[in-house]
Structures are given as structure tokens and as C-alpha cells.
Amino acid sequence: MKLPIKIALIGTGVYILLELILLLAGLNHQREVILLALGANSLILLIVVALSILINFNRNKQGGLSMIADLKVGIAAAAVYSLLVSSFLFLYFSTLDPTYPEMRKEQILTGLQDKEAIAELDKQMEANPDTYAGKSSDDIQEMNHNNVEHMLSAGTVFPLSLFSLLLLGMIYSFFIMAFNRMILSKL
């Protein structure tokens, strides 16, 4: 098995283990834990891409690897990680914790119906009348409600997480490749 795939499988296993621990501990519905899990997902992706590029570069240093070869390895690791984690998230939201999207929808919708949130929306509408032309506060709240309903479905989570993780993986690959070529390879 190729190096980027091995590293991506290990990283995916670590992330899935983290999510399952949070689920079993009952912490998966707390907002702070959700943000920490999202940060852990990004950090694991960064580590997967970095390890793939750096180990491959050091293994083949004498062969004179090109920058494109480094990018290919990093993006391959990011693609495998993204596909596996996105598939897991789809399964997570559809079978492992089907109550999470509903609970999260209720939290967001409760926050949108808060008097302070409505007052803030009215201030924004007064400050930017061109942006909200022809719309009332109730129309904006209904649009937000529909957006929340759509964005938190398991079918929407898969493509959004896949796209965002792939994009993040490509960005990480470019930065790590540049950092490796400019700084680390000179040491």
C-alpha cells in the first residue's frame, strides 16, 4: 500500500476514534466540544498531509523529487482522508447519532428567535436597506430557518465536508510543500 494511503487511514482512524469516544461519553452535543472536534479534524488533516509529504521527500531525497510529486503525495493523502471522514460523517449523522441534527437545528432556531437576535437583525436591516430591500424581518427569519433545515441533513453534510476537506487538504499541501522546499530541505 502506498505511503499517503497508509497515513490517511491512520489519521482517519484517529478521527473516528475521537468522534466515537465523544459519542460514548455523551459530550457530542455540547457546542464547545463540537468546535474542538472540528479543530481536531483540521489538525489531523494537516498532520496527515505533512507526514505524507515529509516522509516521501526524505525517502526519495536522492532521486530529486519535483514539487509536483510532493503535491501529488499530499493531495492523495488529503483525498483519501477526506473521502473516508466524509463517509463516516454521513453514517454518523444518519445512523450513529440521528438525534444530533434535530438537536442542533433546535439550538440554532432557538437562537434565531431570541429577542436580541431579532433586534440585531432589525439593526442590520436599518443599516443596509439596499441589501434587505423588499424583505421583512419575518422573511429573513424564515430563510434562515430553511437554510438550517437544509444544511444539517446527512445528505448535505457529506458533499460539504468532502469539498471543504479536499480544499483544505490542497491548501495544506501547497503550504507544506513550500515550507519543506524553502526551509526544511536546507537544514
More confident residue, 90 or 113: 90
Mean pLDDT for the stretch of residues 36-48? 95
pLDDT digits (tens, 9 = 90+) for 25-39: 988 778 788 889 999
Distance CA 103, CA 79 (A): 30
- 156 closest CA partner among 81, 80, 105: 105
Query: Which pLDDT score is estimated for 18?
Result: 94
Is 58 in contact with 18 (CB distance < 8 Å)?
no
Query: Which pLDDT score is estimated for 132?
Result: 67
Query: Which pLDDT score is estimated for 102?
Result: 75
Is 5 in contact with 80 (CB distance < 8 Å)?
yes
Amino acid (one-letter) located at 15: Y
Residue 133 has pLDDT above 80, yes or no: no
Q: Which residues, in sequence order, are CB contacts of 16 under 8 Å at separation 6+?
A: 85, 88
Cell of 184: 526544511
pLDDT above 90 covers what percent of the chain? 36
pLDDT digits (tens, 9 = 90+) for 114-129: 777 777 777 777 777 7
pTM for the model: 0.81
Query: Counting Cβ atoms within 10 Å, is residue 164 exposed (0-12), middle (13-18) or buried (19+)?
Result: middle
